Amino acid sequence: MFEGRLLQGSLLKKVLEAIKDLVTDTNFDCSETGIALQAMDSSHVALVSLLLKDTGFDHFRCDRNLALGINLQNMSKMLKCAGNDDIITLKAEDEGDTITFMFESPNQDKISDFEMKLMDIDSEHLGIPDTDYQAIVTMPSAEFQRIVRDLSSIGDTAVIGVTKEGISFSTGGDIGKANIVCRQNTNVDKEEDQTTVEIHEPVSLTFALRYLNSFTKATALSPQVTLSLSKELPIVVEYKIEKMGFLRFYLAPKIEE
Amino acid sequence: MAQKGITSFFQAP
């Protein structure tokens, strides 16, 4: 059987809010090392990769590898019934066709069990090659969210450029143009307010803002976001999940025809 | 500009 008890249940709620509009159905792959998920959006332009390590759970048991096929909208409906401070336990039998979510209130005076039907999902995992990215930028996740939202009101695509000075986001549309530059900034009081640029070579790529906007639904998971870019490769937008792993989004670039 | 698909970058097993 599989059982995972998560003291900070709100993390799971946040993960679901971040991916439920991008991916419809997906397998949660449970093994003794944790829970992993890989899924593409319906148009096969973006890929989501989630890792929740066993060590991040208060209790974790997985006797044999299980692929739990889940409709994310339905799981989101279930998790919305958990309080933000609740402890969440996931349970599934090896041969079962349901998953149980147990919610415990912080002072243990309310225990709720929700059972959700699983589905059979054929999924093939894509091999993501290890890449030495030409540019890696870490910046406040709220800042990234704001920039992407602001640019979305002006254009459909954004050019993201990285030089040793910083990262720039540009767009254009019927009403005009916009260009935002965030400079490397390591002299701030709080580490989470820093913007750091690690660069081997300047890089500039074009992406659909609609997807970038969708990724920023993960902002609540982490105060910082890391953007990794290389010429003619998908951008990686990574939100680290404290003590547990990460939520990564890969987005294919737009290329000159 | 053309939108590339993600599967053209990552290999199926």
d(CA A257, CA A215): 26
Write out the DSSP string of chain A: -EEEEES-THHHHHHHHHHTTT-SEEEEEEETTEEEEEEE-TTSSEEEEEEEEGGGSSEEEESS-EEEEEEHHHHHHHHTTS-TT-EEEEEE-TT-SEEEEEEE-TTSS-EEEEEEE-------PPB------SEEEEEEHHHHHHHHHHHHTT-SEEEEEEETTEEEEEEEETTEEEEEEEE-B--SSSGGG-BEEEESS-EEEEEEHHHHHHHGGGGGG-SEEEEEE-TTS-EEEEEEETTTEEEEEEEPPEE--
CB contact under 8 Å between A126 and B7, yes or no, is yes
Instruction: Write out the residues of chain A at the interface with chain B, using a CB-CB cutoff of 8 A.
Output: 40, 43-47, 124-129, 157, 206, 208, 233-234, 250-257
pLDDT tens per residue across span A65-81: 999 999 999 999 999 99
Residue A151's pLDDT is 98
pLDDT of residue A124: 79
Give the gyration radius of chain B's Cα atoms.
9
Of B3, B12, B13, the CB nearest to A252: B3
From B1, B7, B13, residue closest to A257, measured CB to CB: B1
Q: How far is B9 from chain A (nearest CA, A)?
A: 7
Taking a contact as any Cβ pair under 8 Å apart, which residues of chain B between 1 and 13 contact chain A? Answer: 1-13
Choose the closest CB to B1 out of A40, A128, A255.
A255
> pLDDT tens across A212-249, in order?
999 999 999 999 999 999 999 999 999 999 999 999 99
> What does the pLDDT average to over B6-11?
91
Phi first, then psi: what are they for A93, rounded to 5°?
A: -80, 155
ipTM > 0.90?
Answer: yes
CA dihedral defined by A73, A78, A82, A84, rounded to 10 degrees? -10
pLDDT at B13 over 80: no
Min CA distance, A155 vs chain B (Å)? 14
- What is the model's pLDDT at position B11? 79
Write down the pLDDT at residue A186.
Answer: 86
Q: Is the pLDDT of residue A2 over 90?
A: yes
With vertex at residue A140, the alpha carbon angle to CA A134 and CA A144, rounded to the nearest 5 degrees, is 75
Gap from A251 CA to chain B (nearest CA, Å): 7
CA distance A230 to A162: 10
Q: What percent of chain A has pLDDT over 70?
A: 100
